[in-house]
């Protein structure tokens, strides 16, 4: 037996999750519903009549609050399929490095979150007249970095709570305080990019670099800590 590479094993685990999600679409629909609900609730609060009174700071906040809540839905389901029938045990028994399992789960979760976020942006543009197009690529990069930062921590907590009965309640309580720097950096950079009157994009550069650095730290810690967390020893 030729042992597959770390990357191909991680890719197979990610592909398995995406394949299952592609058939059931359970998580995508639930996340999409949650994200749309958050945006609509804010629109009821901020929009009165024909007048849109929402500034770029608030739109950025709405976007990342929607990402936070819908992402938590995704993370709460990340290991559901491994919990059923104790499939996690078969995965842990296989010769796959545990860090590759983490990377695969992270890639699949981030991909599902990004799909929902791509649907979220036009909704924000339509409801709040958000200027998403002038810096669309940069916004896309921010969503990618913010999602990876959020999911990298979330996958660890999701694995830690694999056998906990109150995992849904605990996940948010444990996760939210730790991802505050990710949300702060992502929302500050997003607010700068959504403001057409800002002549200087330096703050967006700064927060994007800060977010990328956070991602590196969180992903490295996740790769390193996944094995002890998932083995429970």
Partner 1 sequence: MSERALRLMNVGKTFGRQRALADVSLAFLPGEVAAVLGPNGAGKSTLLSLLATLSQPSQGRITLGDEQLSRRSPLRASIGYVGHEPGVYGDLSARHNLRLFASLYGIANAERRIDEMLARVGLDGGRREAAARTFSRGMLQRLALARALLHEPEILLFDEPGSALDPAGAAWLASELRREREAGRLVMLVTHDLAAAASVATHVVVLRRGRVARDETCAGFSADEVRAIYEEATGGKT
Given the rule CB under 8 A, which residues bind partner 1?
Answer: 1-4, 8-9, 12-13, 16, 19-20, 23-24, 81, 84-87, 89-96, 227, 231, 233
Q: Are 216 and 151 in contact (CB under 8 A)?
A: no
Select from 122, 129, 126 the least CA-distant residue to 53. 129
Nearer to partner 1, 17 or 215 (CB): 17
User: Whole-number minimum distance, CB 114 to partner 1, in Å?
Assistant: 22
User: What is the 3 state secondary structure string of 65-90?
Assistant: HHHHHHHHHHHHHCCHHHHHHHHHHH
Instruction: Provide the sign of the torsion angle of the four alpha carbons 224, 229, 231, 233, taken in this order.
Output: positive
Quote the CA–CA distance of 83 and 71 in Å, as a whole number.
Answer: 19
Residue 143 CB, shortest distance to partner 1, in Å, is 28
Q: CA-to-CA distance for 66 and 76, rounded, in angstroms? A: 15
Considering the complex, state which of residue 12 and residue 209 has its C-beta at the smaller distance from partner 1: 12
Nearest distance from C-beta of residue 62 to partner 1, angstroms: 33
Report the 3 state secondary structure along 163-183. CCCCHHHHHHHHHHHHHHHHH
Compare residues 19 and 209 and give the one whose CB is closer to partner 1: 19
**Residue with smaller CB distance to partner 1, 51 or 84:** 84
State in angstroms the smallest separation of the CB of 89 from partner 1: 5
Return the number of the residue (88 or 161) whose C-beta is nearest partner 1: 88
């Amino acid at each position: 037996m030729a042992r597959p590479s770390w990357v191909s094993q991680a890719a197979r685990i990610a592909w398995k999750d995406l394949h299952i999600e592609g058939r059931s679409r359970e998580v995508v629909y639930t996340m999409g519903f949650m994200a749309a609900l958050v945006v609509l609730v804010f629109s009821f609060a901020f929009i009165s009549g024909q007048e849109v009174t929402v500034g770029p700071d608030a739109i950025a906040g709405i976007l990342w609050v929607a990402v936070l809540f819908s992402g938590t839905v995704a993370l709460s389901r990340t290991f559901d399929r491994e919990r059923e029938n104790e499939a996690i045990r078969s995965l842990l028994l296989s010769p796959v490095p545990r860090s590759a399992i983490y990377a695969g789960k992270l890639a699949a979760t981030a991909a599902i979150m990004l799909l929902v976020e791509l649907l979220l942006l036009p909704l924000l543009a339509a409801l709040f007249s958000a200027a998403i197009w002038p810096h669309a690529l940069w916004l896309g990069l921010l969503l990618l970095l913010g999602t990876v930062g959020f999911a990298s921590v979330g996958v660890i907590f999701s694995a830690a709570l694999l056998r906990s009965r109150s995992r849904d309640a605990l996940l948010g309580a444990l996760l939210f305080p730790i991802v505050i720097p990710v949300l702060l950096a992502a929302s500050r950079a997003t607010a700068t990019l959504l403001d057409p009157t800002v002549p200087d994009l330096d703050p967006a550069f700064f927060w994007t670099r800060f977010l990328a650095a956070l991602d590196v730290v969180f992903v490295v810690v996740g790769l390193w800590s996944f094995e002890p967390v998932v083995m429970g020893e």
